[in-house]
Amino acid sequence: MAKTSYNSKDIMVLEGLDAVRMRPGMYIGTTGVKGLHHLLWEIVDNSIDELANGHGNKICVTLHADGSASCVDNGRGMPVDKHPKLKVSGVQVIFTELHAGGKFESNNYQYSGGLHGVGASVTNALSEWLEVYVDRDGKRYHMRFESKEVGGHIKSGMPVSELTVIGTSRSTGSLVRFLPDRRVFGDATFDFNTIALRLREIAFLNKGIEIILVDERNKNAKPVVKQFKYDGGVSDFVNYVNSTKTKLFDNPIYIKGKSEHCELEASIQYTSEYSDTVLSFVNNIPTSEGGTHETGFKSGITKVMNDLGRKLNFIKDKDDNLLGDDFKEGLTAVLSIKMRNVQFEGQTKTKLGNPEIRPEVESIVVTELTKALTKNDAKKIVETIIKKAQGAAKTREATKKAKELSRAKNSVENTNMLGKLAACTSKKAELNELFIVEGDSAGGTAKQGRDRYFQSILPLKGKPLNVEKKRLDQILQNEEIRSIIGSLGTGIAENFDLSSLKYHKVIILADADQDGEHIKSILLTFFFRYMKELITSGHVYVGMPPLFKMEKKGEVHYAYTDADYAEKQKKFGSGFSIQRYKGLGEMSAEQLWETTMNPKTRFLVKVTIEDAAEADRMVTTLMGDNVEARKEYIQENADFNREDKYAKLLDKGSDKK
């Protein structure tokens, strides 16, 4: 019989950090690799906030051989005195109380990226152990925390002892070292490149701060060391993003200003590209979905350029003002603002919602950009930008009809837009999947093998257009691209509307060969440039067809990597037959369903953007016109071993991300 009583004794009280241990996903998003790195970001962000507010100028992050990570800064050092209410040291409060810190009071930190997070206490809660060293007031302090099993469950982040003076020190600063708990994260390990990209970004945004990354994990080699320090700040950032692009003028425009609620730094440069790249940040946090600051920034640029264009007679009296979209073409910009009382939309902190910031940012941009572009040597730059925008305006009308076609005529009945789409019967977008399949042959097999209720198939006749080299009006003339746009139902570019998406999984399915990889790259470039929110919202996947079919006495197994094949070969022993799949078309409908389309048995790779600046730079390098840059990148980074790319992503019986 079901329990019917419900009294106070039935209410579970999670003390201290136990709630984090029980529901880690609520605090760090995932217990995979991304969540593991979140532990480090919480510690690094605290050090950055200290330095960004004028206390210190150097940080060192180290990945240690035992799997732990540490971060040391030369700031003021964490508070070591007793908290007046809690009666324990400030260090203990920081690492054991979820909603505690010096950032809620503006006298300590004017600007903080971690204001809406729960901070270092979460790192402590999800670590096997964590140690803190503080240099302050001529002394060195130490405290250690451990997560231990007590009474059958784990007590998280418990102090082993009180904060103790262990020596003297002539410097100031804090060092935090922690070992992520394997009971939470399994075999996940820190990725050097992921950390390096984020630390480089932080260094760009904090002019003059030195950040060092050390990897000591290879016991048979010297530590790998990378140093990041940019005296040019956001201007250096723009130059980095544009390093493989053709610039229309040499030095980026730099502006800086202050208003009642924010401080602003920005850098602007134009290239010969057709797309734009605007990277915005609030208190060092990337705002990949933009927000009120980005809106004010773009409107400020539009106003200044139209005013100066008319003043310098580059725009005639009889001509209409150029639009904001015209000034987007070829624009690369980095916008960084610092502010208090940040209101991010959603838990992911990717969009700024403060309404008061838009007019303030626009005002700063209008004032400071006008100053920068009315100097004696800036007239040529203004002319270059205006001519670029006028070229974009001329193609706008030619694009208009095609864009309206892609936006308004995307119903299932419109065969011109939908190509050879085999639509599913379900109308529930959250259940539906669209497979974009390489080739008519594989497309036909996929149509036979699919579950018609929720799976739609869109075969591609050939390679779609490489959008990195074309204007939007040219892109929308391509039949394959139009079919994709019409099938998804979202429109593209500034008309993109995620709420109209007909499929919550968009799965690219191509052969595991050179042509297949190229098609994947072309499609991902299109999504990145014109439907970026499709990726950032987690709707784009790459299907993983097997490489081998192995059969012995009626028993069949599929191998997805060389290592997977070697493992299954040991189990099979000798006397088995093997088939190497060169393409999707070699599979029967049943085999394609079983290995690649059935949600219970298939493997999918979820496409994400961890670093927008690096993603933009990579897309430009690999898909743009700079042949030498592409050749150099491939020589340095190419790895054609599928095993290294995908082996860690494979796990039987579910979609993998």
Q: What sign has the CA pseudo-torsion 582, 584, 585, 589?
A: positive
Q: What 3-state DSSP class applies to 358? A: helix
Kindly name the residue from 45, 73, 325, 511 that is annotated as catalytic: 511
Query: At residue 331, what are phi and psi to the nearest 5 degrees?
Result: -75, 130
> Which 8-state DSSP code applies to residue 76?
S
Nearest CA-CA partner of 76 in 94, 61, 54: 54
Cα 469 to Cα 482, 518, 622: the distances in Å are: 17, 15, 11
> Which 8-state DSSP code applies to residue 89?
B
Neighbours of 480 (CB within 10 A): 21
Cα 577 to Cα 196, 512, 581, 596, 632: the distances in Å are: 45, 21, 13, 21, 41
438 an active-site residue?
yes
Cα(626)–Cα(338) distance, integer angstroms: 36
Query: At residue 215, what are phi and psi to the nearest 5 degrees?
Result: -115, 110
| Per-residue tokens: 606 | 């979820």
Burial class for 436, CB neighbours closer than 10 Å (0-12, 13-18, 19+) = buried
Over the range 529-554, which residues count as b (16 or more CB within 10 Å of their CB) and which as e?
Answer: bbbbebbbeebbbbbbbbbbbbeeee
307 an active-site residue?
no
515 an active-site residue?
yes
DSSP string over 530-573: H-HHHHHTT-EEEE---SEEEEETTEEEEESSHHHHHHHHHHH-
Are 281 and 352 in contact, with CB atoms under 8 Å apart? no
The residue assigned the tokens 């979209």 is: 325
Kindly name the residue from 383, 451, 515, 586 that is annotated as catalytic: 515
Nearest CA-CA partner of 75 in 104, 116, 46: 46
Are 137 and 119 in contact, with CB atoms under 8 Å apart? no
511 an active-site residue?
yes
Task: Name beta bridge partners: 573.
Answer: none
| Per-residue tokens: 415 | 């065969």
Q: What 3-state DSSP class applies to 253? A: strand
Pairing of strands 548-552, 555-559: antiparallel
Cα(179)–Cα(129) distance, integer angstroms: 6
Nearest CA-CA partner of 41 in 22, 61, 58: 61
Cα(638)–Cα(657) distance, integer angstroms: 22
| Per-residue tokens: 153 | 């469950």
Kindly name the residue from 81, 494, 513, 567 that is annotated as catalytic: 513
Cα(315)–Cα(383) distance, integer angstroms: 10
Are 646 and 561 in contact, with CB atoms under 8 Å apart? yes
Kindly name the residue from 294, 438, 473, 616 that is annotated as catalytic: 438
Cα(537)–Cα(482) distance, integer angstroms: 22
Are 121 and 115 in contact, with CB atoms under 8 Å apart? no
Nearest CA-CA partner of 264 in 360, 195, 341, 359: 360
Sequence letter at residue 267: S
Are 497 and 516 in contact, with CB atoms under 8 Å apart? no
Would residue 489 be called left, alpha or beta, if left means φ above 0 and alpha means ψ between -120 and 50 degrees? left
Active site residues: 438, 511, 513, 515
